[in-house]
Amino acid sequence: MSAVKDISVLCVPFDLGAGRKGVRLGPHAILQAGLERRLRGLGLQVEVLQPFPVPQAGISEPAVRTEEALLHLDEVAGLNELLAQAVWGILGRGRFPLVLGGDHSIAIGTLAGIAPHLKNPGVIWFDAHSDLNTPETSPSGNIHGMSLAAALGLGHDRLVRIGGITPKIKPEHTVIIGARSLDPGEKERIRSLGIRCFTMHEIDRMGISRVMEEALHIAGAGTDGIHVSFDIDSMDPGEAPGTGTPVRGGLSYREAHCALEMLSESGLVRSAEVVEVNPVLDTDNKTARLAAELMGSLLGQRIL
């Protein structure tokens, strides 16, 4: 079982890495859904840090996107440099960082903050997408679709070098779960790097239990621990309507809980983030409540 006791919840209300605004409201919504109370009920020592200061207005978006003009590059890079320092500090105090996003571009900073502490981390990336685009392959220029690539040392130099360590993770210890919408360049990258990507087709055929057994072996064997990056759009939109890039046919409620319960039971998880909860698009805070419940399962909550 997980030995996690001290949790630092870091809210990052940032949405400039995404194409649709609103995910900056996600951290507050997840807290309002009872996350802190849920975690304290598990006997965990929880501190909720002050919301992370992020840029919100006065943004100049490039009129023409080029390789050197990704959307909101300055703001995304600056935010993630500060986030990396914050995560580094949490781990330095011997605490478990739980980062609430915000869009998935914040994973660049989370992993940059982890890198000095976990020299060889494993990563389990729950997502309908793979976030393996680079400036050359991205159809949109939105950096939330490039965060995993940046952590692997691929992409724009300003993103790749955040935190001063590159690459931050290794493809052979990286697992994607729940993918069902991949761009052509991402498919080629998954094949060329040898990243294990469990698509929804494989989850359907194998079952989530077997998928997680394999994922835990890939990300956990011979590593210094596992970082869990949970994009809420890995869930089926019927369960999680409040997200900006929904794709039909995602993880069910019980599949997601089972996956995170197995991660908790492994005792290997050292850090986590949940991202892309967009209250503007949600129904009765359903998606935020789901995010709070899922993080409860990751951190020890059980049915019995």
DSSP 127-169: -SS-----TTT-SS--GGGSHHHHHTT-S-HHHHTGGG-S--S
Q: Give, for all 304 residues of the chain, the pLDDT tens digit.
A: 456 789 999 999 999 999 999 999 999 999 999 999 999 999 999 999 988 788 764 444 443 444 456 999 999 999 999 999 999 999 999 999 999 999 999 999 999 999 999 999 999 999 999 999 999 999 999 999 999 999 999 999 999 999 999 999 999 999 999 999 999 999 999 999 999 999 999 999 999 999 999 999 999 999 999 999 999 999 999 999 999 999 999 999 999 999 999 999 999 999 999 999 999 999 999 999 999 999 999 999 999 8
φ and ψ at 87, to 5 degrees?
A: -65, -40
Predicted pLDDT of residue 3: 62
Residue 127 annotated to the active site: yes
Sign (positive/negative) of CA torsion 182, 184, 186, 189?
positive
Residue 104 annotated to the active site: yes
The answer to whether 209 and 106 have CB atoms below 8 angstroms apart is: no
Predicted pLDDT of residue 4: 72
- Any binding-site annotation on 231? yes
φ and ψ at 280, to 5 degrees?
A: -60, -30
Predicted pLDDT of residue 68: 56
The answer to whether 220 and 268 have CB atoms below 8 angstroms apart is: yes
Residue 131 annotated to the active site: yes
Predicted pLDDT of residue 57: 44
Please identify which of the residues 81, 186, 231, 261 carries the catalytic annotation.
231
- Any binding-site annotation on 173? no
Domain residue spans in the chain?
Answer: 6-298
The answer to whether 225 and 119 have CB atoms below 8 angstroms apart is: no
Residue 233 annotated to the active site: yes
- Any binding-site annotation on 257? no
Burial class (CB in 10 A: 0-12, 13-18, 19+), 284: exposed
Listed residue (153, 135, 158, 156) closest to 65, CA to CA: 135
Please identify which of the residues 36, 81, 255, 276 carries the catalytic annotation.
276
Task: Tokens for 44, please give them.
Answer: 């965990």
Please identify which of the residues 15, 36, 75, 129 carries the catalytic annotation.
129
| Side-chain half-sphere CA neighbours of 142 within 13 A | 16
Give Cα separations from 95 to 36, 92, 114, 206 (angstroms): 15, 7, 12, 35
Please identify which of the residues 104, 156, 173, 257 carries the catalytic annotation.
104
Give the integer Cα–Cα distance in Å for 128 and 276. 11
Predicted pLDDT of residue 52: 79
- Any binding-site annotation on 104? yes
Tell me if residue 274 falls in helix, strand or coil.
strand
Predicted pLDDT of residue 51: 82
**Is CATH 3.30.70.3000 what the domain over 6-298 is classified as, yes or no?**
no
Please identify which of the residues 36, 81, 131, 273 carries the catalytic annotation.
131
Predicted TM-score of the model (pTM): 0.95
Predicted pLDDT of residue 63: 37
- Any binding-site annotation on 72? no
Predicted pLDDT of residue 56: 62
Residue 144 annotated to the active site: yes
Task: Report which residue type is found at 269.
Answer: V
